[in-house]
Structure 1
Amino acid sequence: MEANQAAAGRRPKGKLQQLLEVLGVSTKLGLTSFGGPVAHLGYFHDEYIRRRKWMDERSYADLVALCQFLPGPASSQVGIGIGVIRAGLLGGLVAWLGFTLPSVAALILFASLIQGFDIAGAGWIHGLKIVAVAIVAHAILGMGQKLAPDRNRATVAIMAASVSLLWQTAFSQVLLIILSGCVGLWMYRKTAVPEAPDLPVPVSRSVAVACLVLFFGLLIALPLVRPFVAGGWLPLFDSFYRAGSLVFGGGHVVLPLLEREVVPTGWVGSEEFLAGYGAAQAVPGPLFTFAAYLGAVANGISGALIATAAIFLPAFLLILGALPFWNSLRRSPKVQGALIGINAAVVGILLAALYDPLWTAAILAPADFVLAAILFGMLVFWKLPPWVVVLAGAAGGMVIGMF
């Protein structure tokens, strides 16, 4: 209750003020959040939880667990969920726009101007990868202290990290979360779990059910209708909607799904696809905005807008469909016990991702480790804002590239 009252005291009074606040914060994150979905959760944790305290730690971890379980871009769904809780349905839309549009605009620009250049080896891009290592390590430190502080939960986290690294499939993560929930339910079935503070979710259950019906309806209907439509926007929408609906495990997993949709059809050439992937690594924001690049190559600005809307629509429908049931589920002792196990597993999944793909792609030499340690110190001990750390990492990567 106290946490809710404190959050309410910091909430702007007017609806427009709330929306502008969400837009401003999410846009800042959209301009500075490099490193992929795992790093984004670290940026979100630092900005929304540590600095602004829009949620308590437990509620944020539960939201992350929910979004990890749902198909789609987990970091974007977390951002949408925070926006909805903070400022209603429009708040979710505004949070998504702020976080997504900077990278959409950048990738459309890449599609028209830079797709023929080799940017994958640029020093500043390597520096941004090292920034992601520091950001995720910082997030793991904070979340691990709160969500895996004892032997049982630390064991769940370590096992989740081990399985994530040794068994890498599109469905391993969701299976890990299910199993960890069962373990948590078994371990804490007789333990009194403190109730989490309720969060205001301004979405009715009827709206939630309608969103879930629309999600499954489009997933089934679009492929059935597509053969009868020659050209136009529907085939493009169908391909990207299905890719956004069926991917588990974060943004990188969507790449093979998209490749199978756009290269064999001739919308995008193989070399163009790889060039766009390199560009997607160079911009902040969700990796799912790679769809904007592919859509722009396939059909210009209109194609970029259709592809972007289609790939993110499932994320919207699923998070809106799940949020209204969230508080009642979290009040159940059994569900809370399962969430304890799931939250510990999320720490383990983040730990695994810190090693692969972040560490293995970024820390290639002693100088890389030195830069990562400096950036980590800037975050943890100097408590500098993330955008300063991003700039320092990019500059450090350029310096390392000179030697």
Structure 2
Amino acid sequence: MAKDSAMQKMVDTSAVTATVTDEPFMTRLWDVIHTFYPLGFVAFGGPQAHIAILRDHLVIKHNWMGEDEFTELFAIGQGLPGPTSTQLVVSCATSRAGPIGGCVALFMWNLPGLIVCTVCGVLSTSVLDPNDPPFFLAGLAPAAIALLFKAAYGFSGKLDKLGATMALISCVVSVIIAGDETIDKGVCQWVYPLLLILGSLFTLVDSKRSNPIGTYKGASSGWDADNDLTFRRIGIPLWVGFAIFVFWALLLAACLIYRSNNDSFNTGGYLPLFECMYRVGSIIFGGGQVVLPMLYGEVVDTGWISKDTFYQGFALAQSLPGPLFNFSSFVGGAYLGVGGALVAYIGLFGPGVILIFAMMPFWATLRQTAWFKAVLVGLNSTAIGFIFAACILMWQSAVANAASAAAFCVAGSMALVYKFPAPACIFGGGVVGAILKLVELGQKPY
């Protein structure tokens, strides 16, 4: 008996030592570069489809982390203002190669869409008709949505009955808000964070009961479950994380003070443009679609750009890979040229990126504590409900005819049955959609 215990102790010690041993920083940074350099070119389909692409690459293909950790980071991004998919890119890369890795991944993720939006904004060119996209884009959105369905199915396998119920509630609420035209979409600003908070509080209270409803377990084994490897990789001390948060709050306060004390704000310029974008980026929950009504009044009603230019830019950003927040560079470019594009881009993306860097050391430190584990269970379950809601809502907008349905089926089969990587699935579905668009088959709307 004592011998068995000693042997088990040796095995446990060996396992811990193995998890503590880390790869060199340059190796991990190269992993970030090698993983993210193609994604900026194939990340079609909007923020929720991006989650599916990232899961395929980071969890399944490259095994950077487990399902639990990935969903935790996704849930944290959902709970913060800013672009969720971009925050997930930054947080995952930071957990691999620190702040430098996070910044490199951010650059690669945004670059293709940023360049196109900036150029088109500066030229003020009507590139796309929102109702009739070019044939080569026809199958890309349905293909990306197929990967989103795959991701939702993969996430659902980890839910117990309590988690499934919480996911169902957040899914239903999200579908109703987004699908009912009589509901002001601005309610997303407080409904989505409220759902995450309530889900977290419920599982926290339930975990304290003698006979809890849910199942509460530790983090995924094999990925920093017994040591501070992730905290050391992130490389941001707790006090620095707090200082980053204070910097975000002070900059937001400065923007609000400037806005309230500047009577000539509507005359425009670089500083008003940055203030507008930073303020919107600091309060926006619910993803890129919520940007549309919030920015419209800021940049169109003030006369910075025309209504037609605004919608042309939004259509362009929706048709490109990468985050929809790249729309900011089109607006800035159409208003003040290349300099305006960069100012608007930094202003809108800045708050979300700053906040995710601020949160990373706290997440890495607390995720092994019992109460924080319980909170993450509620966050994860609620966030998974948002993914299922996205499946429903994006199906309606992306799969509008038989041709797009065919592209969806091809990409989904490639992903689920034949195990092709995400870029190949998107390319395959895109080819099918493009061919059917050219020969005019299956184009009649449902």
Instruction: Provide the TM-score with structure 2 as the length reference.
Output: 0.84
Residue of structure 1 aligned with 2:275, choices 238, 247, 262: 238
Residue of structure 2 aligned with 1:193, choices 198, 216, 220: 216
Q: 2 CA distance for matches of 1:69 and 1:223?
A: 22
Instruction: Decide whether the 8 Å contact of 1:64 with 1:74 is kept in 2.
Output: yes
Residue of structure 2 aligned with 1:204, choices 237, 244, 260: 237
Residue of structure 2 aligned with 1:181, choices 200, 208, 217: 200
Which aligned pairs between 1:19-168 and structure 2 lie closer than 5 A? Answer: 19-112=29-122, 115-120=125-130, 121-122=132-133, 123-146=135-158, 148=159, 150-168=160-178
Shift of 1:161: 0.8
Shift of 1:281: 1.2
Instruction: Decide whether the 8 Å contact of 1:126 with 1:362 is kept in 2.
Output: no
Amino acid corresponding to residue 105 of structure 2 in structure 1: A
Provide the secondary structure at the position in 1 that maps to 2:367: helix
Shift of 1:276: 0.5
Percentage of matched positions with identical amino acids: 32
The verdict on how the C-alpha distance between 1:214 and 1:366 changes in structure 2, with shifts beyond 3 A counting, is same
Q: 2 CA distance for matches of 1:4 and 1:111?
A: 53
The superposition leaves residues 106-165 of structure 1 with CA deviations (integer Å, 9 ceiling, x where unpaired) of: 11232245732443312333312201220100110111112x1x3222122112111111
Instruction: Decide whether the 8 Å contact of 2:122 with 2:338 is kept in 1.
Output: no
The superposition leaves residues 11-51 of structure 1 with CA deviations (integer Å, 9 ceiling, x where unpaired) of: 752x3443343133222111111111101111111111111
Aligned to 2:419: 383
Amino acid corresponding to residue 326 of structure 2 in structure 1: T
The superposition leaves residues 296-319 of structure 1 with CA deviations (integer Å, 9 ceiling, x where unpaired) of: 101111111111111111112211
Shift of 1:290: 0.5
The superposition leaves residues 202-224 of structure 1 with CA deviations (integer Å, 9 ceiling, x where unpaired) of: 10112111111111111111132
Residue of structure 2 aligned with 1:369, choices 391, 405, 424: 405
Shift of 1:90: 1.1
Q: Give aligned pairs, total.
A: 398
Q: 2 CA distance for matches of 1:164 and 1:276?
A: 26
Provide the secondary structure at the position in 2 that maps to 1:195: coil
The superposition leaves residues 55-112 of structure 1 with CA deviations (integer Å, 9 ceiling, x where unpaired) of: 1111111111111001111111111111211111111111111101111011123224
The verdict on how the C-alpha distance between 1:361 and 1:25 changes in structure 2, with shifts beyond 3 A counting, is same
Establish whether residue 352 from structure 1 lines up as the match of residue 389 from structure 2.
Answer: yes
Amino acid corresponding to residue 107 of structure 1 in structure 2: C
Amino acid corresponding to residue 294 of structure 2 in structure 1: L
Shift of 1:381: 1.2
Instruction: Decide whether the 8 Å contact of 1:189 with 1:337 is kept in 2.
Output: no
Q: 2 CA distance for matches of 1:231 and 1:112?
A: 17
Residue of structure 2 aligned with 1:306, choices 343, 347, 350: 343
Runs of 5+ unmatched residues, structure 2: 1-11, 179-186, 220-224, 442-446
Instruction: Decide whether the 8 Å contact of 1:34 with 1:40 is kept in 2.
Output: yes
Q: 2 CA distance for matches of 1:321 and 1:81?
A: 10
Shift of 1:231: 5.1
Q: 2 CA distance for matches of 1:297 and 1:4?
A: 55
| Deviation larger for 62-71 or 250-259 | 250-259
Aligned to 1:215: 248
Provide the secondary structure at the position in 1 that maps to 2:376: helix
Instruction: Decide whether the 8 Å contact of 1:128 with 1:393 is kept in 2.
Output: yes
RMSD: 2.3
Residue of structure 1 aligned with 2:428, choices 373, 377, 392: 392
Instruction: Decide whether the 8 Å contact of 1:211 with 1:317 is kept in 2.
Output: yes
Instruction: Decide whether the 8 Å contact of 1:129 with 1:361 is kept in 2.
Output: no
Q: 2 CA distance for matches of 1:288 and 1:4?
A: 41
Question: Looking at CA atoms only, which structure, 1 or 2, has the larger radius of gyration?
Answer: 2
Runs of 5+ unmatched residues, structure 1: none
Q: 2 CA distance for matches of 1:89 and 1:41?
A: 21
Shift of 1:278: 0.9
Provide the secondary structure at the position in 2 that maps to 1:167: helix
Aligned to 2:376: 339
Instruction: Decide whether the 8 Å contact of 1:30 with 1:98 is kept in 2.
Output: yes
Q: 2 CA distance for matches of 1:29 and 1:6?
A: 31
Instruction: Decide whether the 8 Å contact of 2:124 with 2:309 is kept in 1.
Output: no
Q: 2 CA distance for matches of 1:179 and 1:362?
A: 31
Instruction: Decide whether the 8 Å contact of 1:48 with 1:54 is kept in 2.
Output: yes
Q: 2 CA distance for matches of 1:82 and 1:338?
A: 20
Which aligned pairs between 1:246-285 and structure 2 lie closer than 5 A? Answer: 246-285=283-322
Instruction: Decide whether the 8 Å contact of 1:80 with 1:93 is kept in 2.
Output: yes
Instruction: Provide the TM-score with structure 1 as the length reference.
Output: 0.92
The verdict on how the C-alpha distance between 1:110 and 1:102 changes in structure 2, with shifts beyond 3 A counting, is same
Q: 2 CA distance for matches of 1:178 and 1:163?
A: 14
Shift of 1:391: 1.6
Shift of 1:183: 2.4
Q: 2 CA distance for matches of 1:4 and 1:35?
A: 40
Shift of 1:370: 3.2
Amino acid corresponding to residue 384 of structure 1 in structure 2: F
